[in-house]
Chain A
């Protein structure tokens, strides 16, 4: 049963993959209701689903989601959260890049990755009223 389930998951995640090179991250954990708004369209989130820049991830009252970004940043949101992946550029050779995300509502736990490690000014998380500059590495944010 379980191998079949996993094969189905993999097939589903491959079906969603439009352009692997453009993926900025991947959903590794999803509980309860999780939706990805992409180009104005809500897609049900699944584990294994690749994420693109400008995706907005929403969790329901029973929802939570965990994302591993290409630079090894880890973002995880609790219930009733709205998280946007506004910009992600990452050079795998030099580790230069820029990662901007936003928490509009809810709770978010962040572990910064290679981008922030390479350039302390290169990763920011916005809330509706504040900008967080990430020099590293592990922190939590809430927005009412």
Chain B
């Protein structure tokens, strides 16, 4: 009997010691493009998935606990972090006159817009990413896409963008603008994408 009381007291004490300690929080924000998004929150063996806008998790010594946040609360607690967010990369696409290293007339206008975007940003850097259509193997398309990107990179450098602020790479046929079956020639996929960041 006495032992039972002692055990209960010990359990109560342990219970008091195990009051969950707050360890922070996580909130999923709405995706700007409206795509489905999710973050998993894992503490030890416990995991919850945040997959709705403003779904939150309180982190604690007893594992993550779901809660509902909102735009106001996020603004109040994370305003400074959100205000420091860099501008998202601005995206442009250039097309070549078929079989030549020459831009189409429409693309020449895009080049002006690219330079406008570069001038707008305090510390711009530029990524030039080449793409091919689905004709041919990766072994052919990967170098070809990089070569296209290099042509554009050289063009930007020749027009005054500092060489060490522009990086060229190639995606081969992995990211078509227009979905096609493998092996299909498609001019809209033979392009170079430019990200001003």
Nearest CB in chain A to that of B79: its residue: A78
Q: Give the docked Cα–Cα distance between A72 and B39 (Å).
A: 18
Interface of A is mostly: strand
* Complex Cα–Cα for A66 and B84 (A): 5
Closest to A141 in B: B26
Would you call B81 and A109 a contact (CB within 8 A)?
Answer: yes
Number of A-B contacts (CB under 8 A): 163
Residues of B within 8 A of A135 (CB): 37-40
Say whether chain B's binding surface is mostly helix, strand, loop, or mixed.
Answer: mixed
Bound-state Cα–Cα, A27 to B121, Å: 13
Whether the Cβ atoms of A78 and B84 lie closer than 8 Å is yes
- Sorting the interface of chain B by its residue count into under 10, 10 to 19, 20 to 34 or 35 or more gives 35 or more
Among B27, B28, B78, B88, the one with the most A-chain Cβ atoms within 10 Å of its Cβ is B78
Smallest distance from the beta carbon of B174 to chain A beta carbons, Å? 7
Within 8 A of A (CB), among B3-61: 22-32, 35, 37-43, 50, 59, 61
* Chain B, Cβ-Cβ closest to A50: B125
CB pair A140 B27 closer than 8 Å: yes
Chain A: minimal CB distance from B143 (Å): 10
Chain A residue at minimum C-beta to C-beta distance from B53: A138
Q: Does chain B have a CB within 8 A of A130?
A: yes
A93 touches B170 (CB 8 A): yes
Q: Are B41 and A130 in contact (CB under 8 A)?
A: yes
B77 engages A74 (CB within 8 Å): no
Chain B residues in the interface with A (C-beta under 8 A)? 22-32, 35, 37-43, 50, 59, 61, 64, 74, 77-89, 121-123, 125, 129, 142, 146, 162, 164, 167, 169-172, 174, 195, 197
